[in-house]
Structure 1
C-alpha cells in the first residue's frame, strides 16, 4: 500500500494537520494487513482523534475506507461496503 496517490484527493486539501498525521500513520500501519486487522486500526485512529477532540468528516471517512481497501480483492471490498451500510443503519 505504498501508493499514496490518495494524497491528491480533494478531501486532503483542507484537512487538519493532526488528522492528516493520523491518516498517514494509519495508511502505513495498514500496509499488508488483512481485512480483519483493519477495523482495530480504524478504531485506534478514531480514539486518537477523540483524545484531540477531533473526528473525521463523512468525506474523510470515505477516503479512509478507500485508502484501507485499495489493495483488497473485489470480494473483500464488497464486505467492507456491507459493513459500512450496516453501520449507517445503526446510527
Structure 2
C-alpha cells in the first residue's frame, strides 16, 4: 500500500499508509492533535528483486566485509564445466 505524507499547521510532518481507494485528505496530527492536510510527495519506488538492487547491496556489504574469492574474476573455467546433455546440442559444430 502507498505511503502518504501529511503536515499540520504547526509544521509537524508524518507519514501514513492507506489503500489508494480510501485516502483521507486530512488526518489528525499525532504530535499536536490538530488537523493535518495531505501533501504531495515523491513516490517510493523500489527496485526490489532487480539485479541492480542486488548489486547495490553487494557493493555496500563489501565496503565493510570484503568478499573472499578463490579465483580472479574472468578467469577461464575449469575443464569439464559447462557440459550439456541436451540431445540437440550434440548437433552443434565443435570448436
Relative to the length of structure 1, the TM-score reads 0.20
- Greater helix fraction, Structure 1 or Structure 2: 1
Name which structure has the greater RCO, CA cutoff 8 Å, separation 6+. Answer: 1
The structure with the largest alpha-carbon Rg is 2
- Greater strand fraction, Structure 1 or Structure 2: 2
